[in-house]
Structure 1
Amino acid sequence: MKMKYLLTLLMSITILSFSHAKGKVSIDRVEPAFWWAGMVNPELQVLVHGENINDLDPSIAYEGVTLEQVIKVENPNYLFLNLKLSETVEPGKFPIQFKRKGKVVFTYDYELKARAKNSANRKGFSNEDVMYLITPDRFANAIPENDHVEGMYEDTDRSDNGKRHGGDLQGIIDNLDYLKGLGFTAIWICPVLESNQVDYSYHGYAITDYYKVDARYGSNEDYVRLVDEAKKRGIKIIMDQVENHAGLNHWWTKDLPTKDWYHSADKAVKPTTNHNRSSLADPYTTPSEKRAFSDGWFVDRMPDLNQSNPLMSKYLIQNSIWWVEYAGLGGIRQDTFSYPDPEFMSDWSRSIMEEYPNFNIVGEEWTSNPALIARWQVGKVNTNGYKCYMPSMMDFPNQEAFVKSLNVSPDESWQDSFGAAHGMLANDFLYVDPYNLVTFMDNHDMARIYDQVNQNYDLYQMAMVYLYTLRGIPQVYYGTEITLSYPENPGDHGGLRIDMPGGWEGDKVNAFTGEGLNEQQKNAQNLIKKLNQYRTKTTALQTGKLVHYYPKNETYVMFRFDEKTKVMTIFNKNADKTELKLDRFNETLKGAKSATDILTGKKYDLSSGVISIEGTSALMLELK
């Protein structure tokens, strides 16, 4: 098996070389390796890398393909070819001839593939979906043989939270039926592209090859197979991408195309970003503050990419589109969305959505300020004139506010415990489309929700019911469905991404089969399953109107409804059973006489004007 992966690695690089009086000339990389006929954008930039390659002059003779520009940069090992593809260009292979003084030195066969049927109309994830988040190294190890790959720095060590643990793409494929059984319809997978860093590479956010799946996860073909197998089960795959930074061991680093390929590449000490997310919108800040945010390195092992370089910008945009087309993606999640050059992010999001108008992209802007998130969404009119084209963003403010409401004691605030949650949700007027935000209670960068509420299962259940009542697209982190916990050190990101029980041979607890789960874990799993099943069949929880009432006496009431269904959710922070008078909600109840608890099936008679709710609990009721 090890030999197989070594051969795959070697075969993935085709090297053409020729020696002449001026020295050796070679090609070792062409990116993208192929493209497609019939794309909306007729322009294609091809990066060619090889020793002294710009000593040669390329030419193309293929009907429908025009070589409009050859860009020779300061590094002699690069050529950038700008092609224009006609609307009528046919799929097929064509030679790119590399000449010296008119004589062909060697030929590279480039391919334009036929697009998949209805590719341009592919539908991305939407508020009809329920999303599951996976850190692939920590989910399931189906092929232990790929834990070690020749040429890759890190091997596995499950005893160390900062090391690789061996999860792979086959492990996800093997457990797709588990996820389908729980009712999930989309999977966001943390980055799977090559991250050949010396250490701490398991998380995948330090990419060293933008066109290649990390061999310890599998191959590009395995990734496509994962997408195909998920589609058979009605599940979309969302790719986690990173435009802001690369891994320090990216093959560019030792042979940069231009001096400005990375920000501050020539400086001995690299400036770190100031993490001042508000600087881009701040009307009183200075240009230097904005540069310090966008141009600083995220960490010293992740070079900051200079997207204001047009060659870099085109490279990254094309790479994102290439993966959508090649793998048949159902969405993109963009890491550290606000950190790259903002004009580039505008071009990036616009380019993808022009190519795929029904697609969806969600960006990470980790802030509790909804105004900073709202400014990125397509259609938002910003006072400084900035336009972006993001359909979706991650809803960090509501996550933070509801967890705060769950944890605050009544005597710690002048307002009701649920005041924070109610007040934050009232800020939805800032968004162009709050229903297209991705909502969540935890993710791979924060303590698990069960730990955030101090391992109080009643509060955990309230958090999950809120998540499924809230507008938007709910996302559940792997293991949250069994109250997976790591309370030892909330600052240890490796611990926040602990192994999924049952993903490794010999695990005594198996979330996938239920073996070894305790009663609480089984209850949590059943809770998520019921919520998923109800939400996916209930349009009121997907696109229905949301109405909420100001919290009173430690209770918070929300409604979701459309022409088909009306759902009432009641949250009670009181320790004791509470009698909730319904007359306050008559304008929304509109004569409803009965209700059914969607989690237990219990029936309620509303004609008395009062409903009883147990202490520290939530009720999700379908009204009749």
Structure 2
Amino acid sequence: MKNLILIFVVVFLFSCQNGEQKKMEFSKEVTAVINEIERVEPPNWFIGFKDNSLQLLVKEENIGASNPSISYNGVTIEKVSRAKSNNYLFIDVRIDASTIAGVFNIDFTFNDGTKKTHTYELKSREKQSDTYVGFNSSDAIYLITPDRFANGDESNNINLELKETAIDRSDNYKRHGGDLQGIINHVDYISDLGFTAVWPTPLLLNDMAESSYHGYAITDYYKVDSRFGNLSLYKKLADELRKRDMKLIMDQVANHCGIGHWWVKDLPFDDWLNHQKNYEENKDNWNIETSIGSNHRRTTNQDLYASEADRKGNNEGWFSPKMPDLNQRNPFLAKYIIQNSIWWIETLGLGGIRQDTYPYPDKEFMSNWAGTIMNEYPNFSIVGEEWSYNPLIVGYWQKGANNKDGYKSNLKSPMDFPMQKAIVEGLNEEEEWDKGLIKLYEGLANDFHYTTPKDILIFVDNHDKTRVFTELWQDIRKVKTALSYMLVLPRIPQVYYGTEILMNDTANPGDHGLIRSDFPGGWKDDTINAFTGEGLNEYQKDMQSFVTKILNYRKHSAAIHDGKTLHFAPFMGTYFLFRIKDDETVVHIINKNEQPITLDLKRYEEVGLSGKKLKNIITGEDFIWNDEIHLTEKGSIILTTKNN
């Protein structure tokens, strides 16, 4: 019955095509069993792209012995490539500008005359490329580890067909049950805090035997992990965010897949993975360090003197024995990854992509990947993870950098690990106050090196780093100062879930499972509920309120989004930073003095605030900027000239 319904749908869609498409008859070709082929990826495509090419990966037993054909106006097979494995076929297709959306058959005819058929769909795009607007300095991003945020649907906790079936909240490295529905249920909470974008760590299938919760060992690039939900729920999350003028950022991984990926059992080519031969010969005793000389020397991407062995150790070495390193120099794999990114942009209507482990893949491929996406979506945004504390390295990856080797990255937004380190170290410096503040001051002064500083993503903690409350010695004033400073910088800020309620990993700093602890209130039996405030202590509630006030001010602050930045070298244990645009000036003051101090404001005369009334964003108190300011407490103050 199901096949008959699909048959009638096919006939109907063909019959509804305009005069350019002939009405199909109810023939043997149309009534062939639908979707006999194991996989055709991308699973569907779209009309109306600037690039009219499409490459289909076909996976089916002995499919390499067949000849494919398509009979559909505007769709032409230009090339058929056979892989090393006879179970793959790659079909290069051209889609004319005049092609209309519809469903058609791809027929695979074998030498013995038998035929297999797959039904494929070209969809209309929901919006044009230039209307995809990515995240920018007007946004504030909420980063979530979905398995640890909220369990909105207990029925999907376990899938017995997958390798890891246990739910154990007492084990930091087991699955805890958080899912897409859990995020959807709390979109209003995130919006009310003042965030304008949500970045969940990967939600695609991770069919791994252990630690599958984190999502970075993808085993199917087109399938949502059933323990998180399904594609419909992923789309619903995107829709719910759009209703609130918020953006969905997708975490993608081009460098590696999970060892449980379906293609690892039957790789298409000898070079689909880096060090593939070595892996296939040593599967039972696979040690990446001794077998292939893997390293994490990311500076080999820039180092003028780097040995070829070290370059290969970084770009071709495996990230982990459980995460096969993908060889993006294989043109079929490269096309696969690029098309996968575009498919998800279209399918979810994304507001951005975060690309994991950016400096590990082939850097020429990464330039082409980012360039292809940005060429199609000129207002889109991509952030790449470069975990380096050297601003020279971070700046190398940003689009427009004047790199000595001529490298053009096409990447809009690298991640600001150098500033994150400067904030933590600067605020923790207790003995010499100005020395600590100078780390913040000089960290920002390094912006001369960046093409567009306001496009860099800044954070004080994330899913891989010790919680900021832990790093700042559980000093709430320091945490507030770190957050307030970060949120007024010329940057795109990201806050990790739970930072707003002082979540920490103090019991074992840096432990990834602990960093990604459960958000209280995300499970029905939780005695503390941070979504409602029930059970939170006064300090947690105060921090929630603090974050909410700053973010909701920031949401409408042109000065913070796009204003001029002016700061003064630290003086007498204080550091003043100003963001200025038109008649709005935002003043951020860090005070490290334990005792009250009075400062002469003539030093800041060039800002032009003399005699003006400013309001404290947190307390609502007014302040007249005259000759001096009296600071009574250690910490930070944010003042604004805006009246509301």
Which bracket does the TM-score occupy, shorter chain normalised? over 0.9
1:568 alignment partner, one of 587, 599, 612: 587
2:62 alignment partner, one of 52, 64, 73 = 52
The aligned amino acid for 1:575 is E
Deviates more, 1:340-349 or 1:275-284: 275-284
Cα contact 1:272–1:297 (8 A) shared by 2? no
Aligned to 1:228: 239
Root-mean-square deviation (CA), in Å? Answer: 1.4
Q: Tell me what 2:448 maps to.
A: 429
Distance in 1 (alpha carbons) for counterparts of 2:438 and 2:293 = 37
The aligned residue for residue 15 of structure 2 is none
**Separation in structure 2 between the aligned mates of residue 505 and residue 122 of structure 1, nearest angstrom:** 37
SS at match of 2:295: coil
Aligned residues: 597
Q: Which deviates further from its counterpart, 276-285 or 133-142?
A: 276-285
In the TM superposition, residue 104 of structure 1 has moved relative to its aligned partner by: 5.7
Alpha carbons of structure 1 residues 474 and 420: separation in structure 2 relative to 1, 3 Å? same
TM-score (norm 2): 0.91
Q: Which residue of 1 aligns with 2:489?
A: 470
Match of 1:360 among 378, 381, 404: 381
- CA distance in 1 between counterparts of 2:495 and 2:66 reads 52
Q: Secondary structure at the match of 1:212?
A: strand
2:322 is matched with 301
1: CA distance between counterparts of 2:237 and 2:459? 24
**1:38-437 pair list within 5 angstroms:** 38-101=48-111, 103=113, 105-154=115-164, 155-267=166-278, 268=282, 269=286, 270=288, 271=292, 273-411=294-432, 416-437=435-456
Partner of 1:612: 630
CA contact (8 A) 2:39 2:59 kept: yes
Letter matched to residue 546 of structure 2 = L
- Given that 1:272 and 1:299 are in contact with CA atoms closer than 8 Å, whether structure 2 keeps it comes out as no
- What is the DSSP-based 3-state SS (H/G/I as helix, E as strand, rest coil) of the residue aligned with 1:202? helix
Displacement of 1:605 in angstroms is 2.5
- Please say if residues 119 and 325 of structure 1, whose CA atoms lie closer than 8 Å, have aligned partners that are also in contact: no
Moved more, 257-266 or 614-623: 614-623
Match of 2:528 in 1: 509
Does the alignment pair 1:28 with 2:63?
no
What is the CA distance between 1:576 and its match in structure 2? 1.5
Describe the superposition over 1:434-484 as per-residue Cα deviations: whole angstroms up to 9, x where unpaired.
101111111001111111101001111101110111111111100011111
Residue pair 1:279, 1:290 contacting (<8 A) in 2 also: yes
Corresponding residue of 1:10: none
Amino acid corresponding to residue 133 of structure 2 in structure 1? K
Cα displacement (A) at 1:304: 0.4
**C-alpha distance in structure 1 between counterparts of 2:322 and 2:293, whole Å:** 11
* 1:253 aligned counterpart, secondary structure: helix
Task: Provide the rounded CA distance (Å) in 2 between the counterparts of 1:104 and 1:34.
Answer: 25
1:200-219: CA deviation from partner (whole Å, max 9, x where unpaired): 11100000000000000000
2:47 pairs with one of 12, 37, 54: 37
CA displacement at 1:491 relative to structure 2: 3.0
Q: Is the 8 A contact 1:416 1:553 kept in 2?
A: no
Give per-residue Cα distances to partners, 1:125-180, cap 9 Å, x unaligned.
11111110000000000111111112112221101001110000000000011111
* Cα distance in 2 between the residues matched to 1:234 and 1:594: 32
Contact 2:193 2:551 in 1 (8 A): yes
Query: Are the counterparts in 1 of residues 611 and 624 from structure 2 also a CA contact under 8 Å?
Result: no
Paired with 2:608 and 2:503, the residues of 1 have a C-alpha distance of 37
- Identity of matched residues, %: 46
Q: Give the 3-state SS of the residue equivalent to 2:493 in structure 1.
A: strand
CA positional deviation for 1:552: 1.5
SS in 2 for 1:252: helix
Question: AA paired with 2:543?
Answer: A
Please tell me whether the aligned partners of residues 26 and 52 of structure 1 are also in contact (alpha carbons under 8 angstroms).
Answer: no
After superposition, give the CA deviation of every residue in 1:327-353 in whole Å (9 maximum; x if it has no partner): 111110000011100000000000111
**Aligned to 2:566, what secondary structure does the other structure show?**
strand
Kindly state the Cα deviation for residue 100 of structure 1 after the two structures are TM-superposed: 2.3
| Aligned equivalent of 1:440, options 454, 459, 467 | 459
Deviations 1:343-373 (A, max 9, x none): 0000000011111111101010011111111
Deviations 1:82-135 (A, max 9, x none): 111111111111211111249461221111000003354211111111110000
Instruction: Please state whether the residue corresponding to 1:171 is helix, strand or coil.
Output: helix
Q: Is the 8 A contact 1:26 1:53 kept in 2?
A: no
SS in 1 for 2:276: coil
Q: State the SS of the aligned residue for 1:537.
A: coil
Q: Report the CA distance shift for 1:256/1:330 in structure 2 as closer, same or farther (over 3 A).
A: same
Letter in 2 for 1:117: K
Unaligned runs of 5+ in 1: 1-24
SS in 1 for 2:333: helix
